[in-house]
Structure formats: structure tokens, C-alpha cells
């Protein structure tokens, strides 16, 4: 699976363990704001799941360990930075998956 692949795999499949995901991801192209260490960053959510999101940060600013992702029309979500490579970052939501799915109006599988 390459870095642009947004398909998710359920745990317990025979796929490569590095490719397994707990929640299926959905491709998006949503503008959002990331609050990190007291500063605001515009970003784009390029994929989303009940467990987290993949973001593109135009300024490639290093993120704090804990952030808030503000997605217009859906809400503000507490998350932790799991990885960051240049302008790309992955965050894991700190709220339960069902709460995330409800916030996104059950758009997530």
C-alpha cells in the first residue's frame, strides 16, 4: 500500500501487518484548521476514519503531540499526532469511534 492509498483493511486479515487498519478509511478533500501548541494551521483532511485522519499541512509545521482538528460543519476533535513526514501527518482521534462516526453523521463505515 503506498502513501496515497486510502483504502483501509480490517484487523485480522491476511494482509501485511503494516497495512492493517482498525477502521476503514474514506477519501475526503475537506479544508480544516488544526490547533497545535497554541497556533493555528490550515490543513486539508485527505482521508478519514472512525479512528483518525490523514492531513496535508501546506506549511509543513511540526505538530505538537496533542492537537485539535476543527472541521467546519462537523465539529472540533481532540487527537494525537501519530506520525508526520513533511507536509503529511496522521492523527488518531482521542474520542470513541462511535462518537466520531456520529459527528460525521455516520458517513464513515
Report the pLDDT value the prediction gives residue 7, as an integer from 0 to 100: 39
Q: Enumerate the domain spans of the chain.
A: 24-103
**Centroid of chain to Cα 12:** 22
Report the pLDDT value the prediction gives residue 38, as an integer from 0 to 100: 85
- Rg (the chain; Cα; Å): 13
Q: Does the global pTM surpass 0.85?
A: no
Give the helix, strand, coil percentages of the chain, each rounded to 5: 10, 45, 45
Residue 82 cell numbers, joined: 501519530
Report the pLDDT value the prediction gives residue 19, as an integer from 0 to 100: 53
Report the pLDDT value the prediction gives residue 16, as an integer from 0 to 100: 45
Place of cell 499541512: 57
Mean pLDDT per 10-residue segment, the chain (109 residues): 38 44 82 90 94 91 92 95 95 95 85
CA dist 41 → 21, 36, 77 (Å): 27, 8, 15
Report the pLDDT value the prediction gives residue 24, as an integer from 0 to 100: 79
Fold of the CATH domain 24-103: Thrombin, subunit H (2.40.10)
- Whole-angstrom distance, CA of residue 74 vs CA of residue 17: 32
Amino acid at each position: 500500500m503506498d502513501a496515497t492509498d486510502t483504502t483501509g483493511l480490517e484487523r485480522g486479515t491476511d494482509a501485511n501487518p503494516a497495512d492493517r487498519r482498525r477502521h476503514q478509511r474514506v477519501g475526503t478533500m475537506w479544508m480544516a484548521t488544526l490547533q497545535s501548541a497554541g497556533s493555528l494551521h490550515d490543513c486539508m483532511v485527505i482521508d478519514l476514519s472512525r479512528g483518525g485522519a490523514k492531513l496535508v499541512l501546506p506549511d509543513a509545521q511540526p505538530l505538537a503531540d496533542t492537537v485539535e482538528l476543527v472541521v467546519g460543519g462537523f465539529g472540533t476533535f481532540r487527537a494525537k499526532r501519530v506520525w508526520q513526514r513533511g507536509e503529511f501527518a496522521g492523527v488518531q482521534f482521542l474520542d470513541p469511534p462511535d462518537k466520531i462516526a456520529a459527528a460525521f453523521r455516520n458517513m464513515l463505515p
